[in-house]
Every structure is written in C-alpha cells, then in structure tokens.
Amino acid sequence: MRIGFFFNKAAYDFMNSSLKLSFRMLCRDWRAGELNVLIFALVIAIGGLTTVAFFADRVELALSRESNQLLGADLLVISNQPIPQLYADKAGQLDLAVSSVTKFPSMISNSDSSLLTEIKAVTEGYPLRGYVHLLSEKPEKLVSASAIQLARQIPQPGTIWVDEKVKMQLNLKKGDGVDVGATQMIVTEFIEREPDHSVGFINMNPRVMINATDLEATELIQQGSRISYNLLIAGEVKKVQQFRNWAKTQLTKVQRIEGIRDARPEIKAALERAEKFLSLAALASVVLAAAAIALAVRRFTQRHLDACAVMRSLGASQDFLLYLYLNYFVILGIIASGLGCVIGFAAQEILAQWLTGIVDTALPWPSWLPALQGLLVGLILLVGFALPPVLNLRSVPALRVLRRDIGLSNAHSIAGYAIGLIALSFLFIWKAQDLKLGLYVVGGFIVAVAIFSGIGWILIKILSSLRHQAGGVWRYGLASIRRRAASSVLQAVALGLGLMALLVLTLIQDDLITDWHASLPPDAPNHFLVNVQGDQLQSLEDFFIEHDIERPVMHPMVKGRLVKINGKKISLKDYADDLHAERHIRREFNLSWSDKIAADNAIIQGKWWNNDTIEAAISIEEGIAKTLRVKLGDELTYDIAGNHFSAKIASIRKVDWDSFRVNFFIVVPPGLLDNYPASYITSFYLPPKQTALIHDLVKTFPNILVVDVAVVINQVQQMIRQVSQAIEFVFIFTLLAGFSVLYAAIASTQDERIYEAAIFRALGAKKEQLSRAWATEFVILGGLAGLFASVGATLLGYVIGRHVLHLDYTFNPGIWLVGTAVGILGVLVAGLVGTRSAVSSPPLLTLRKIG
Amino acid sequence: MLDDIVEQPILRTESLTKQVNTGEAQLTILQDINLQVEAGEAVAIIGASGSGKSTLLGLLAGLDLPTSGKVHLDNIDIFTLDEDNRAALRGKILGFVFQSFQLLPALTALENVMLPLELSAVANAQSVAQKLLDRVGLKKRLHHYPKQLSGGEQQRVAIARAFATDPKLLLADEPTGNLDSATGIQVIELMFELNREHGTTLVLVTHDEALSRRCSRQIRLVDGKLARKVT
C-alpha cells in the first residue's frame, strides 16, 4: 500500500495539505506564544553549542598555528640531499607558502679566532610561522622587551646574522667582517631567538644565518658534507594536510616530512589533550542542548494533546497527524536552530575579540562545520525527542475532548526517548571525531540515564511515602513530585546530566591544567651540560655548591652503535620500510646506567633490577623497543668504541619526555659499562638572573657544552598558558549553556504551576505558603540532580581522564558537596524566580481558562 | 432579640465595574453593579452565557481585580487589602465550588479536603476532612486521586473541601455544569443540605432557572448590568 505513495495524486494532496496546515499551525502557535519556551530553549541550546564549537574550532586552529611557530612552518620536508623541485611546485599549486632552509656545520672565523657553527642559509619568506627576534646592539644592557625587535626580512646577500654565542666568542660588533668558507660577510644583526631554534637542541652549535643566494660563493656545499635541506611549507590547514598526504606518496628513503607533532613530543601531548578537551566541551554542550530540548518538548506535547484530540474527533487520520507534526517540527527546527547558529556565531566572535585582548594570538577564522553541526543537532534533537510523543499523540483517543485526564501511555514515551537517545549517540560520535572519546561519552550517557532514572524513581517513591508525616505545604511539594513522578524523574535526570557534563569538564579542566603546570613547573630544567668528563665531576659539584645552585644529578653516558639483535647481525635492509628505525640504527645510541629508576619513568613490562642482579640486563624505552621490534628477553649487542657489549632486555619503560629532564632510551645496571669511556650529562634550572654564571662555567670547564633551553621552555610554557586560558573560556561558555537547561526545566511545568497557584490562592494560600510548597519540590529535584551529577561526574571524569586524556586522575570528594549544593541552589533559585509570575497572576483568569 | 441587632450584610458591592482591553476595543463585562447579600440568604445569580456571571463571582471572592468599585466581604473592603491578605480572608470566610471541580490532581481526596484546613493551620485537619468526606458519602474513597473518581464524586470532594473551613459564605460557579442531570441533582441536594447544616450564606451562579428557584432570591445579569429583581 505504501509503494507508490509519493506518486499518487491523493497522496500528494495529502502531503501538500498537511504541509500547509503545519505552516499555518506554526504561525498560529507562534502568535499565541505557545512556542516561546520551545523556541527559547532551542535557540539558547543551539546558540550555546555553536558558540563553544565555533570557538573551540578557532582555538584549535590557533593552537596549532601557534605551536607551528616553534617549527617556523606548518610542515617541513627534510632531506640530506637537495629537495626535488616537484615538492615546491606541488605546494605552489595548492597555494601554500614555501621557503627553504639549508643547514650544515662549518667553521667561521675573523682575525681573532675561529668557531664551529651551524650555518643556516635561508630564502625569502623565512620563517613562514613565527619571527626571528633580533637584539639591538647594546650588549651590556639587560635584555628587555624594548631591546628586541622582529626581523622584517632575511639577511641581505653578503651579510650575516649571528647569535649571541658567536657574537661573544668572536667578539663581534655590527659591521665587522667574518670569513665564511671562501667568502667574507658583514655582520648586520644579532639574533636573540629563531623560531626553529629549539628542534634537536642536544647537538647544538652556535648559529649563524645567511642568505641562500650566498651559498655557492662560500663553496662549503661539497660532496660528503653533512647537510640538512629543509623545505618549509605553510598555509591553510586543509591544504597543508592535502600536501602532506601527497608528499607521503613521493618520499624517497632520504626524505621525510615533519610537522610540529613529529618534532616535539611534549607539544604533541599538550595539543592533543587540549583538542580532546575542547571536543569534550563541545560534547558537553550537546548534552546540555539535548537536556534542554527534551524538557521543552515535553511541555509542548502536553499542550498539544487537546489539539490532537480535537483533530482526531474532526476526522484527521493518524497518518495525517504524523505528517502534520513532522513538517511542523522540521520547519520549527530549521528556523530555531538557524537562529541559534547565528547567535552562536555572533557570541563566539565577541568572545574571540575579548580573548585576543588577553592572549597575543590572533584567532583564525573558524570553519563552517560547527554551524552545520548546530543545525543538525537542533533538528535531530527536536525531531528525535518531539516526534515519538507525537506518534503517541496521533493515537490520542478522541475521548480526550470529553475527559481531559485521559493522557498518554508512558511505555510509548520511553520508547520515544530511546529513539532520541540513539539519534543523540550518533551525533556524539560524529562530534567527538574520536571514536574512543565518543563511545565513552555515549556509553556514560546511556548508563547514566538508565541508572539515574532507576534511582530517581525509587527515591521519589520513598520520599513521597514520607509525605503523610509532613505538614500541609511540605506534603503538597512531596505530593507534586510523586504525581509527576515520570516528569520529575525526567527533569532530575536532564538537570543531572547537564550538571554532570559541567562537573566533568571542571574536574578534567583542573587536572589538565595542573598536569601541564606540573610537567613544566617554573623551575623546570632550562640548561643542559653535555660532555662532562669523569674527572670533572668533583670540581663541577664544588662549582655548584659555591654558586648556591642545587647540585643536579649527573647521568653517565656511553656512546654505542646497535649491531646485533639476538646474536643476529642487523642490516639496514631489515628496516628499509621504516625511516625512523633506520635513523636509529645508523646513529650512535647513548647508553646510561643507574641503580634506581628515574622519577618520570615507569616500568610497563618486566622488572627493574635490584642489587642482586648479576646478569647483563637492559631497560629499554617502549617507543624505541617498538621501532626496533624487540621484546622482553631479546639480547641486544652494542659496538662501543670497537668492543662488543651484550645484554638482555629485562624491562620496558615508559618515559615522560615532556619533562625536559635527561632521559635515555637504554639503561643498564651500574658496573656493566665501567670499562668503557663515559662522559656525563645533566640538566638543571638556572634562574634568569644568574645567567652570567654560564660564562664562568664555560671559562672554568672549556670542554663542557652548555645548552640553553630556556627559550624553548618559555615558548612551551607560554603556549600551555594560552591553552589553559582558552580552555577556561570555553568552559565558562559551556556553563552559560547550562542555564538553558534550567530554564527549560522550570518552564516545562509552568502551566501546571499556574493552575496549582490559582487553586491554592482561591483556597486562601498566601504567596509564601505556595512558594514554600514549590521550594520543597525544587529542593528535592535539585538535590537529586546534583547527586546524579556528582556520581556521574566522578565516574565519567575518571574514565575520560584515565583512558582518553591519560591524566593521573585525582579523586575530589568535594565535588559531591559542590555538585549537590549547586544542584539544589540552582534549581531552587531558578525555580522560585521562574515561578514568580505564576504566583502572582490573577487566579480567576486561570481557573476560567482551564475550567 | 435578634431583631435588636442591626444585621450587617455579609456581602455588599458598590458600583462594581470590570472592563477588559481586547486590543482593539474596550469591553465592558460588568457595569455599575450594586448588590447586597444578608447572612443566611441563598442567592442565585442568573443570566445568559456571557452575561458576566462568573466574572462577578470572581470579583466577589477577590480572585480578580475590578476596574472600579468596591466589594465589602464581612465588612471588609477587600480591594484595600493586598493579595496575600485577600487570600487569608478567603481562607477564613469563603468556600468555593467550581464548575470543573478544580481539585489538585497530585493530592488524594482526603488531602484535597485537608488542604484549606492546613493552609489556615487548623490542628485536626485530618479528622475534620474525614468526617466531611464521610458526610458526602465518600468514606471509601479517601485515598483515591481525582482521576480515579467520577465527575459526581469529584464534585462531592470539592463540596467537602468548600465546607471544610466552615465558611460564612459559599460561592458556587455552575456546580452542575459538568455533570449529567441525575448526578447534578444529587450534588445540588447535598450542597443545600450542607448549607443548611452549617448555616452558610450561599451565592450560586447558574443559568439553570429551575436550580435558581431553589434559592431565596435571584439576581439577573443582562449584558453585564443588573436587571430588576425577579423575586
């Protein structure tokens, strides 16, 4: 019978007339103010949702752009041979900005002395992200912000920019000449810092920068030189990704691509967590929107029972009513959600303007995806939650015209909300853009709804049985909760979910920010000492004591090349498909020894050694174990200065690379490497005021290489500060969206309350008595919601913190108190404010309208 | 001896007028109503649909505000009071019976009858309410909710509630309007019986001429104005 339905003339007329009637009905309801609550809830919910989504989108874009400054570009193509033109051509086709950097070590000299430096030859446009910071020529003066300026261009041909170390060691001033290979260049600027200065800081030489057009004249580029060719790429996120995907198919063995996340693990971790948090915030706002819409829809359908009954008694078919309301909701959904999107866009723009005043990052323009998502969320939620009750409405007995108390069967409503929930689940997974996070949230959501409803139902039954012990108005409050048990449970659950979403965000936000600050505390090591010799340990220690600096732990280090795994000689061919592994095998590893495991390391497999361990054991870092494809018990053989050293893997460690402390891929028990030449490495924190000490240190121990990572640390810390701020802003906005739920919850029972108020007043109740009766109800509702939220947030916070964001979750018992108190106070205040008009409207009007 | 006391009317109106703004025009619903009801009287307000009967009743009870004019209830000018004090006065001296019963759906029959007693802080609310429900023949329905009761039963609960506080004045708005005639007759009988037992003054709004004749006096409203006395 349904086949050909849409091609049938009668069916067409049917559809057409239901569409027209839907539209007319919508207009009438709008005029009569029937839609106020529903539209308001929809607009606010979608407005809140899109605000958060738009803003999170922009922050995400800004964060990755910000962090890309540390790379000087969005993406690098790196090779030890000149990079083929086709990469630059492809980037050009994609409208991406391109620049290139050629780096190699070389001696430079002036009349006094010569120095091994890292020469960086750059082309026009460098750097594509971030700036080169130049120092004005007042060497004795303390470095202040005004003494630093941003470079507007690259060094002119024939000129050279040098960093502070070069300047000091060669005793240079502007205008001096320096020999670089076969040519002489004029020093024109001093570099304070470069964007990409930090990458691979361990083997860092003093740095100089020249114009790439001078490269040939230096005659330094020769067969066999150790040269790193870098092609810098930057532009729109999508196009960069497109380029990256294309480049992956083109790479030869000597080429690789690197984004900020490949280059800097600590930034990668911070960024990924921030992104997950932002999508969590967006998800939370979907939960809030869903709760608000579910509540508002409930009121709407209740008010439309009569209209349906009348239409049924006037001969409308069930199908007709279904199409009528389907059209009705789709039109309403598009209009209200559209309005919400517009408001959301405007709000996030204001938010962004405000934020740019506080952090010094210009936020990029957001994508349009959040608007589309907002529209869809509104439509799906409205239709998902409103249509099922309408499926019920169409089966409303026409008898309702005569007896108002004939209502809906609850079984249908529950099935209806199930459909809404399924629709919502799909939205979640889509919105999370992370299956794991999405599934956790959906799972948590569904389990929470089921458990909350069950507990709510039982608690309400228990509470209402107490009402016989309670006096008049209290009894009334309890009785109201019981009579509306289903809707009381719905309200408590919806409010509870909304509050839960907010509490989870609070918990996670706290943990996230604490974790970042903990991983990079203000006194995080900012200097490394490399190449300390064994016989210098004592005098270095004395130096630290003398200058009142906390004595750092010295880590021994022996260089060795991996030659055999399980007795089998390894060949590069075995790892030909893995550039990363190949690099590890080519170069020398740093082996260290220790009797205790480092504080920021954790054993994930096997056991750390104790004093009785006699056999040769190795503890290996998990990432490198994976790369080398070795497991617990495998024997590794290293070539150390011509001798072979073999040991079995006894444990696999997880290392927190974000900590800026010295860590090793390979650690062995003390004593095993005693016969090999060792040097020592350490990291320590030097307060900025004491940087002059470094000169003394270098003078006292000329062989020790001092690596200053203060700049890098500052950059990372600043980035983390910005991420934290962004997250706090997004959170505050999600909080605002929470109010839409509260509003909808109060509004959803407004009609009943106005009616109750009229009867109460006719029977002689004072306003205060009536308010007290309602307050009882609000306190119970709010308390239930707060309790649900606290339980849910504790569990969900743990799961998400632990399994999605990989944080050390700290249980916070205060959240129970806060959650319940916020629930009670929020619902009580909103409830009393929201019902003020109901208390004071003239009773007669209501009684006559209803009578 | 009674004759010596100058009886004050329990209810008196002075030029009571109610107008509403429909947006396009000013509509006069009641105009210059002057009437007076003595204690113990049973007065019927009759008139066609839309003549302003229910509006008048609402104003007499202070459930709505007049555009101008006064209502004296038990010698108190009720519109000089604020809403809370009017409510307190209602709780003390007024009882209501509505056309559509207006029971609170969340409460059982017993709790509905107890409510006005509890609002006025009467100590033995439950036993008073139980006795009254017994009196109206609902002894076995104490713990039923309104939706579990028939229309006639609901109206009997409403009558029991109206008499619970032993009011001086009972206002009834088309009490049989939503009932079939047989049930309507039963309910009316009950109401008049209780009225006699409690010595209450009754003001009854109806369009039913037969019913109105059971009252001692009829007041007719025509287009919002008082017509000449029928009796």
- Residue A738 distance to chain B (closest CA, Å): 29
Residue A544 is assigned to a structural domain of this protein: no
Distance CA A26, CA A43 (A): 16
Average pLDDT, chain A: 78
**What is the length of chain B?**
231
At A184-210, the pLDDT tens digits run 999 998 887 777 654 444 445 678 999
Interface test with A, best of B102, B111, B168 (most A CBs within 10 A): B102
Q: Is the pTM of this model over 0.90?
A: no
- Residue B63 distance to chain A (closest CA, Å): 5
Residues of A in contact with B90 (CB under 8 A): 761-764
What six digits make up the tokens of A19? 């569409």
Q: Does A479 touch chain B (CB under 8 A)?
A: yes
Q: Tell me what pLDDT residue B12 has.
A: 93
Q: Are residues A205 and A140 in the same domain?
A: yes
Q: Does B91 touch chain A (CB under 8 A)?
A: yes
Q: What angle do CA A235, A236, A239 make, to 5 degrees?
A: 95
Q: Are residues A625 and A515 in the same domain?
A: no
Q: Which of A274-278, A719-723, A824-828 has the lowest mean pLDDT?
A: A719-723
Q: Are residues A373 and A467 in the same domain?
A: yes
Q: Pairing mode, if any, of strands B76-77 and B68-73? A: antiparallel
Q: Tell me what pLDDT residue A123 has.
A: 92
At A374-393, the pLDDT tens digits run 888 888 878 877 777 666 65
Q: Give the residue from chain B lying closest to A759, CA to CA.
A: B102
Mean pLDDT of A420-442: 74
| Inter-chain touch B99–A842, beta carbons under 8 Å | no
Q: Give the residue from chain A lying closest to B116, CA to CA.
A: A763
Q: Does A252 touch chain B (CB under 8 A)?
A: no
Q: Are residues A393 and A503 in the same domain?
A: yes
Q: Tell me what pLDDT residue A147 has.
A: 65
Does the structure show a pLDDT above 80 at B131? yes
Residue B77's pLDDT band (cuts 50, 70, 90): very high
Residue with tokens 């991406």: A96
Q: Tell me what pLDDT residue A403 has.
A: 47
Q: Does B76 touch chain A (CB under 8 A)?
A: no
The domain limits of chain B are 2-226
Does the structure show a pLDDT above 80 at A231? yes
Q: Tell me what pLDDT residue A198 has.
A: 47
Mean pLDDT is highest, among A91-95, A303-307, A700-704, for A91-95
Residues of B in contact with A766 (CB under 8 A): 84, 87-88, 119
Please, are residues B231 and B64 in contact by the beta-carbon 8 Å criterion? Answer: no
Distance CA A527, CA A694 (A): 9
At A125-152, the pLDDT tens digits run 888 887 888 876 554 444 444 567 788 8
| Inter-chain touch B106–A848, beta carbons under 8 Å | no
Closest CB from A405, A480, A851 relative to B99: A851
Distance CA A225, CA A104 (A): 8
- Taking one residue from A and the other from B, the number of pairs with CB-CB distance under 8 angstroms is 100
Short-list A46, A51, A53, CA closest to A381: A46
Among A684, A706, A727, the domain-final residue is A684
| Inter-chain touch A471–B118, beta carbons under 8 Å | yes
Among A212, A244, A263, the domain-final residue is A263
| Inter-chain touch B87–A756, beta carbons under 8 Å | no
Please, are residues B76 and B8 in contact by the beta-carbon 8 Å criterion? Answer: no
- Residue B3 distance to chain A (closest CA, Å): 33
Distance CA B211, CA B188 (A): 8
Which H helix or E strand runs over A271?
helix A265-313
Q: Tell me what pLDDT residue A845 has.
A: 65
Does the structure show a pLDDT above 80 at B28? yes
Short-list B140, B152, B136, CA closest to B197: B136
Residue A32's pLDDT band (cuts 50, 70, 90): confident
Q: Are residues A484 and A343 in the same domain?
A: yes
At A586-637, the pLDDT tens digits run 777 788 888 888 887 888 888 888 877 667 889 998 888 888 888 998 999 9
Q: Tell me what pLDDT residue A398 has.
A: 54
Print the SS3 string covering A638-706. Answer: EEECCEEEEEEEEEEEEECHHHCCCCCCEEECCCCCCCCCCEEEEEECCCHHHCCHHHHHHHHCCCCEE
Percent of chain A with pLDDT over 70: 77
Closest CB from B55, B63, B106 relative to A480: B106
Residue A26 is assigned to a structural domain of this protein: yes
Does the structure show a pLDDT above 90 at A81? no
Does the structure show a pLDDT above 80 at A397? no
Q: Pairing mode, if any, of strands B76-77 and B169-173? A: unpaired
Residue A703 is assigned to a structural domain of this protein: no
Q: Which of A27-41, A275-289, B149-163, B168-182 has the lowest mean pLDDT?
A: A275-289
Between A8 and A743, residue with greater pLDDT: A743
Does the structure show a pLDDT above 70 at A452? yes
Distance CA A629, CA A623 (A): 10
Q: Does A774 touch chain B (CB under 8 A)?
A: no
Residues of B in contact with A476 (CB under 8 A): 104, 106-107, 115
- Total domains present in chain A: 3
Query: In DSSP terms, which residues pair with A614 in a beta bridge?
Result: none
Q: Are residues A213 and A340 in the same domain?
A: no
Q: Tell me what pLDDT residue B175 has.
A: 86
Q: Are residues A570 and A656 in the same domain?
A: yes
Q: Give the residue from chain A lying closest to B53, CA to CA.
A: A848
Q: Are residues A315 and A424 in the same domain?
A: yes
Distance CA A6, CA A12 (A): 6
Residue A120 is assigned to a structural domain of this protein: yes
At A631-665, the pLDDT tens digits run 998 999 998 888 888 999 999 998 876 666 778 88
Q: Does B176 touch chain A (CB under 8 A)?
A: no
Q: Which of A46-50, A177-181, A404-408, A835-839 has the lowest mean pLDDT?
A: A404-408
Residue B3's pLDDT band (cuts 50, 70, 90): very low
Please, are residues B205 and B53 in contact by the beta-carbon 8 Å criterion? Answer: yes
Closest CB from B84, B91, B94 relative to A767: B84
Q: Does B102 touch chain A (CB under 8 A)?
A: yes
Residue A542 is assigned to a structural domain of this protein: no
Q: Tell me what pLDDT residue A511 has.
A: 76
Among A263, A287, A318, the domain-final residue is A263
Residues of B in contact with A845 (CB under 8 A): 64
Q: Tell me what pLDDT residue A320 has.
A: 76
- Measured from the Cβ of residue A412, the count of other Cβ atoms closer than 10 Å reads 15
Q: Tell me what pLDDT residue A78 has.
A: 86
Q: Tell me what pLDDT residue A143 has.
A: 46
Residues of B in contact with A478 (CB under 8 A): none
Residues of B in contact with A848 (CB under 8 A): 54, 58
- Residue A844 distance to chain B (closest CA, Å): 5
Q: Pairing mode, if any, of strands A589-593 and A666-668? A: parallel
Residue with tokens 């001092």: A706
**DSSP classification of residue A130:** S
Rounded to whole angstroms, what are the CA distances from A760 to A468, A502, A838, B125, B189?
19, 37, 11, 16, 27
Q: Does B30 touch chain A (CB under 8 A)?
A: no
Q: Give the residue from chain B lying closest to A848, CA to CA.
A: B54
Residues of A in contact with B116 (CB under 8 A): 763-764
- Residue A762 distance to chain B (closest CA, Å): 7
Please, are residues A380 and A312 in contact by the beta-carbon 8 Å criterion? Answer: no
Q: What angle do CA A776, A781, A785 make, to 5 degrees?
A: 150
Closest CB from A767, A842, A851 relative to B100: A851
Q: Tell me what pLDDT residue A203 has.
A: 45
How far is CA A684 from its chain centroid? 30
At B185-208, the pLDDT tens digits run 888 888 899 888 888 999 999 888
Between A408 and A176, residue with greater pLDDT: A176
Closest CB from A483, A762, A769 relative to B96: A762
Rounded to whole angstroms, what are the CA distances from A286 to A279, A419, A498?
10, 16, 9
Q: Give the residue from chain B lying closest to A770, CA to CA.
A: B119
Query: In DSSP terms, which residues pair with B204 in a beta bridge?
Result: B44, B172
Distance CA A646, CA A568 (A): 12
Q: Give the residue from chain A lying closest to B113, CA to CA.
A: A763
Q: Tell me what pLDDT residue A5 has.
A: 43
Residues of A in contact with B118 (CB under 8 A): 471-473, 475
Residue A101 is assigned to a structural domain of this protein: yes
Distance CA A501, CA A506 (A): 9
Q: Are residues A258 and A115 in the same domain?
A: yes
Superfamily of domain B2-226: P-loop containing nucleotide triphosphate hydrolases (3.40.50.300)
Interface test with B, best of A463, A763, A839 (most B CBs within 10 A): A763
Q: Which of A154-163, A174-183, A326-335, A656-665 has the lowest mean pLDDT?
A: A656-665
Does the structure show a pLDDT above 60 at A280? yes
Residue A6's pLDDT band (cuts 50, 70, 90): very low
Residue B209: which residues within 8 A CB-CB, separation 6 or more?
B46
Q: Tell me what pLDDT residue A144 has.
A: 47
Mean pLDDT of B45-62: 87
Q: Does A473 touch chain B (CB under 8 A)?
A: yes
Q: Tell me what pLDDT residue B71 has.
A: 94
Q: Does A471 touch chain B (CB under 8 A)?
A: yes
Mean pLDDT of A572-590: 72
Q: Tell me what pLDDT residue B4 has.
A: 44
Residues of B in contact with A471 (CB under 8 A): 118
Percent of chain B with pLDDT over 70: 95
- Residue A763 distance to chain B (closest CA, Å): 6
**DSSP classification of residue A468:** G
Q: Are residues A242 and A142 in the same domain?
A: yes
For chain A, the maximum distance between any two Cα atoms, rounded to a whole number of angstroms, is 109
Q: Are residues A423 and A515 in the same domain?
A: yes
Mean pLDDT of B161-171: 91
Residue A810 is assigned to a structural domain of this protein: yes
Q: Which of A51-60, A448-457, B184-193 has the lowest mean pLDDT?
A: A51-60
Mean pLDDT of A30-34: 76
- Domain containing A114: what range? 76-263
Residues of B in contact with A756 (CB under 8 A): 104
Q: H helices then E strands: how many in chain A?
A: 24, 22
Q: Give the residue from chain A lying closest to B66, CA to CA.
A: A842
Q: Give the residue from chain A lying closest to B89, CA to CA.
A: A764
